[in-house]
Amino acid sequence: MHTQQDCRGLDAQDPLRGLRDLFTLPEGVIYLDGNSLGAMPKAAPARIAQVTTQEWGQDLIRSWNTAGWFHWPQQIGDKIARLVGAGQRELVATDGTSINLFKVLSAALSMAQADAPERRVVVSERSNFPTDLYIAEALCKERGLSLKLVEPDEIAGALDASVAVLMLTHVNYRTGAMHDMAAVTAAAHAAGALTVWDLAHSAGAVPVELKNARADFAIGCGYKYLNGGPGAPAFVWVHPRHAERFWQPLAGWWGHAAPFVFTPDYRPAAGIQRYLCGTQPIISMAGLDVGVDTLLAAEPLGGMAALRAKSLALTDLFIELVEQRCAGHGIGLATPREHGQRGSQVCLTRQQGAYAIVQALIARGVIGDFRQGDGGQRPDILRFGFTPLYIGFEDVWNAVEHLRQVLDSGEWQRPEFNQTHAVT
Ligand SMILES: *Cc1c(COP(=O)(O)O)cnc(C)c1O
């Protein structure tokens, strides 16, 4: 059994401990929601101020060339590629996650149907993040296809000759469960289907090997574990074997082979550049760049493998301490215990009061979040994300101690913790 003293010792020995200094974290807060909005890098305000006061304010339109604004989607994309097992010039930072999903799912469906028009089904998980399901539903409706939603253990069985695309989120947002990307991709390919992977809860959280897994398409989020800031641009990757086969439906001028020739007809750029659409939000891009740099700062210390080892140690410790110190309060575990099946978050369940318990913790400075269940098979979730860049072992101890006190005292039953806010 770990003591608080042990946890301090683990922090003292942690080779990644210094990376915490790259972030602004408010005094008295234990931030366990970096899976929803990553913490702010200390370098972000000055960098954003540089973009506004100097590059925009003084250099004006010249900055597209002088500051290199035009190349940022590719340059930042090349940095993100290093975190997800993609090659250089294969990934771009652009648009939002939902929009990028529309682009790649559309391209994947065009490809699949050109090769096998009889394949008319998109398979996904019922517990996938809703925006992914909504985008897929809309695209299927538009194309007269059908969307089939299954449970995780039904995926393999659903891969038959009718399936065009298997669209999955690598790490489930509700449970933290992680798919074996290589094995699932191989099964999809064996069944003749293409794969689209959403890396929203994977990029910067767990090692990802897109190319080694022979994945077909991937997208991911910039403001979660990549620390890019609220609404930061997302990213999109297409395996080079597919990148030039079709162009994506949002064929804007930034994806044109020669945008500044201003021709009336569309000619797609080579490779991943055609997945750009229009002018990018440069101020937000600067935030994303600084956020991605916090992950690259771990490269000399072992990179994603070292971050993963620490993340597993943190989540193991959290599970152990909750089970020991909060026993008897009806707390369950929704996240798999097996390392190979877990992302960087731990999701707890409770029949009643999950929302209020999370609110009581937030009032104490322990910030996690709540995800609603369906009153039946899907329980209410208390969700805690562990960003190994800035969370330490003593933070885990303290977070569990607060949870224990909230449960033991019944503090969560106070009326103020039972009022629902617009954003949970
Ligand atoms: C966070 C998340 C998104 C977010 O999409 P936005 O377009 O950025 O709002 C999409 N998909 C998954 C799986 C997510 O976890």
How confident is the model over 189-199, as pLDDT tens digits? 999 999 999 99
CA 175 to ligand 1 centroid distance, Å? 15
Nearest ligand 1 atom, CA 234: 8
HEC string of the chain equals CCCHHHHHHHHHHCCCHHHHHHEECCCCCEECCCCCCCCEECCHHHHHHHHHHHHHCCCHHHHHHHCCHHHHHHHHHHHHHHHCCCCCCCEEEECCHHHHHHHHHHHHHHHHHHHCCCCCEEEEECCCCHHHHHHHHHHHHHHCCEEEEECHHHHHHHCCCCEEEEEEECECCCCCEECCHHHHHHHHHHCCCEEEEECCCCCCCCCCCCCCCCCCEEEECCCCCCCCCCCCCEEEEECCCCCCCCCCCCCCHHHECCHHHCCCCCCECCHHHHHCCCCCCHHHHHHHHHHHHHHHCCHHHCHHHHHHHHHHHHHHHHHHHHHHHCCCCCCEECCCCCHHHECCEEEEECCCCHHHHHHHHHHCCEECEEECCCCCCCCCEEEEECCCCCCCHHHHHHHHHHHHHHHHHCHHHCHHHHCCCCCC
Q: Which of 20, 103, 119, 224 is catalytic?
A: 224
pLDDT surpasses 80 at 424: no
For domain 4-41+302-418, give the CATH superfamily: Aspartate Aminotransferase, domain 1 (3.90.1150.10)
- Indicate the pLDDT class of residue 375, thresholds 50, 70 and 90: confident
Mean pLDDT of 301-305: 98
Query: Has 318 been annotated as catalytic?
Result: no
- Indicate the pLDDT class of residue 374, thresholds 50, 70 and 90: confident
What dotted CATH number matches 68-296? 3.40.640.10
* CB-ligand 1 contact for 131 (6 Å cutoff): yes
* CB-ligand 1 contact for 129 (6 Å cutoff): yes
Mean pLDDT of 396-407: 98
pLDDT in tens, 312-332: 999 999 999 999 999 999 999
Query: Has 293 been annotated as catalytic?
Result: no
Nearest ligand 1 atom, CA 129: 13
Nearest ligand 1 atom, CA 98: 7
Q: Which of 14, 33, 95, 198 is catalytic?
A: 198
CA 1 to ligand 1 centroid distance, Å? 37
**Domain residue spans of the chain:** 4-41+302-418, 68-296
Query: Has 371 been annotated as catalytic?
Result: no
